[in-house]
Amino acid sequence: MATPIDLHEVAIRELETRSRYPWRIKACASTACQSAGAGPAYSAMEREISNSGQTQTVQLVPTGCMGLCSRGPLVRVLERGGDETMYQHVDAEIGSDIVKSHTGQRIPIQSNVLDHHGPFFAEQRRVVLANAGIIDPDRLESAVAHGAYLALEKAITTMTPDQVVEEVRASGLRGRGGAGYPTGTKWSLLAGAAGDQKYVIANGDEGDPGAYMDRTVMEDDPHRVIEGLAIAAYATGANRGYIYVRAEYPKAVERLDRAIRSARRNRLLGRRILETDFTFEIEVRIGAGAFVCGEETALMASIEGKRGMPKLRPPYPTERGLFGNPSMINNVETLANIPAIIDRGSEWFRSIGTEGSPGTKVFALAGKLENTGLIEVPMGISLRTIIDDMGGGVPSGGAFKAAQTGGPSGGCIPEQFLDTPVDYASLSELGSIMGSGGLIVMDDTVSMPEVARFFMEFCMDESCGKCVPCRAGTVQIHGLLDKICTGRGTAGDLALLEELCVVVRETSLCGLGQSAPNPVVSTLHYFRPEYEELLVDREAVDA
């Protein structure tokens, strides 16, 4: 059996290596920047470093997401003991220019410099994404140099499982997957469940259109997810874990696999972790990309190799879950908070965010904004700060109309509520939800009935087909919205639409159907005249 890793020694060695280079260039190799051309830029920089003889002075590091995806590919140049410069839109040419001019002759390429002290960065509070854009996700040592696995070590060598559960409960952390269930309560349910075989599962089946919070965490800091899951297992008495990732995230799967292997090699996973009695194995399971598999019981069915369909609850997973054993599912982002909570304590965690919603939340900021990308903000920040300051507002010429949170299960929030603090309770009061963190800003060119139709089409296609209200109800809601959007809807259709939304919400089997009407209900609530303007008399409809 391999000797366990000495985390401190590895960290010191890593930092020593790093300090040998006067310059370090961190290039975002995350999916968004890759699609913007980060690959060729990286190669160009690599080539130029070698061609200009800077291999001993410049270290080039591929990192995860730096956040401001709309300006990608992003590159950061760090001078030893000196300043940091951030570059935007770095293509191959700019890349080699940076090496030639900036690290070679100390002359920055002004045309592409990005102000990384601006509100987009300054308003952020990075806990979950602390290492994203900093470390090389493919190297365990890089993560360890930034504190990975210290919390696991602390938990399993200095704390009892009960103390860990208590710390998480005291932190007030709530599930980041959407519903906001208190994580500590969930953990104590599993810890209290009888049975020799228990499972902990990381839910990385991020299915909301436009959302990539969990993908980023898994791709850019896979060890944080592994560590969080291992701590969860230790606290609840589980000896086996699964990370469920959708097939559309091949890079996340690859990185998690590699991270799990290197963690295992270093006795951070497997038998007798860090020479303690704690044994824990993790396996990555790939989903086929069905939205419904984000639902706990459907996800477990999928891991079991069955058709991803939700089951009736009770029994709840903590009583009878995966393979009939007590199980617990936590969202990837939830688990990514755990190492920091254990490391720095629940009190520290509570100092971020609000009383009812402590901590931070990662949002995928998208839509009609100057700046779009991935942000991590303290809970309680106002939507206005996110949209106007961080997002830079709606590009000139347009006017803000609504912010959509929570994806297909969420709702649209109009201008007058932009000062609302972002927390679980406030968003739900507005008829929306925190959801997993999708935040789409729409300008006044957008028709709200069409927005509702878009989300309903998504839910209709993603319904598993098990229960009647969701399977057939979403089809009819979509049909009614389509009639209204295309000028064939009557007042009767609108009334029927509203009635049907209630039935689907109240009688569907799982969260997918229960929340599917939300985009319709919320747009009707705030933008009803837009629907009414589209209505016609029945006589005018040509059969």
Q: Which of 25, 66, 143, 467 binds another protein (CB under 8 A)?
A: 467
Q: Which of 8, 80, 307, 528 binds another protein (CB under 8 A)?
A: 307
| Min separation Cβ 280 and another protein, Å | 33
- Give residues with Cβ within 8 angstroms of 457, minimum separation 6: 478
- Give residues with Cβ within 8 angstroms of 69, minimum separation 6: 32, 33, 36, 372, 373, 374
Whether residue 60 contacts residue 68, with contact meaning beta carbons closer than 8 Å, is answered with: no
Contacts with another protein by CB under 8 A: the residue count is 32
Q: Amino acid identity of 302?
A: S
CA–CA separation, 14 and 392 (whole Å) = 38
Could you say whether residue 342 binds another protein (CB under 8 A)?
no
Could you say whether residue 49 binds another protein (CB under 8 A)?
no
- Give residues with Cβ within 8 angstroms of 126, minimum separation 6: 132, 360, 376
CA–CA separation, 79 and 170 (whole Å) = 40
Whether residue 388 contacts residue 402, with contact meaning beta carbons closer than 8 Å, is answered with: no
Q: Residue 82 or residue 465: which is nearer to another protein going by CB?
A: 465
| Min separation Cβ 323 and another protein, Å | 17
For the residues of 156-208, what is the DSSP string, one character each?
HHH--HHHHHHHHHHHT-B-TTTT--BHHHHHHHHHHS--S--EEEEEE---S
Here the tokens at position 540 are: 């005018």
Kindly report the number of other CB atoms within 10 A of residue 416's CB atom: 8
Whether residue 332 contacts residue 218, with contact meaning beta carbons closer than 8 Å, is answered with: yes
Q: Which of 277, 312, 396, 537 binds another protein (CB under 8 A)?
A: 312
Q: Residue 113 or residue 472: which is nearer to another protein going by CB?
A: 472
Could you say whether residue 539 binds another protein (CB under 8 A)?
yes
Choices 79-87, 131-139, 278-286, 454-462 (CB under 8 A): range interacting with another protein: 454-462
| Min separation Cβ 542 and another protein, Å | 9
CA–CA separation, 167 and 192 (whole Å) = 16
Helix (H) or strand (E) holding 366: strand 360-367
Q: Residue 166 or residue 457: which is nearer to another protein going by CB?
A: 457
Could you say whether residue 294 binds another protein (CB under 8 A)?
no
Choices 194-202, 223-231, 324-332, 456-464 (CB under 8 A): range interacting with another protein: 456-464
Q: Which of 245, 273, 290, 386 binds another protein (CB under 8 A)?
A: 290
Q: Which of 463, 518, 522, 523 binds another protein (CB under 8 A)?
A: 463
Q: Which of 11, 340, 460, 521 binds another protein (CB under 8 A)?
A: 460
| Min separation Cβ 539 and another protein, Å | 7
Chain residues that interact with another protein, rule: CB under 8 A: 290, 292, 307, 312, 460-469, 471-476, 479, 496, 499-500, 503, 506-509, 538-539, 543
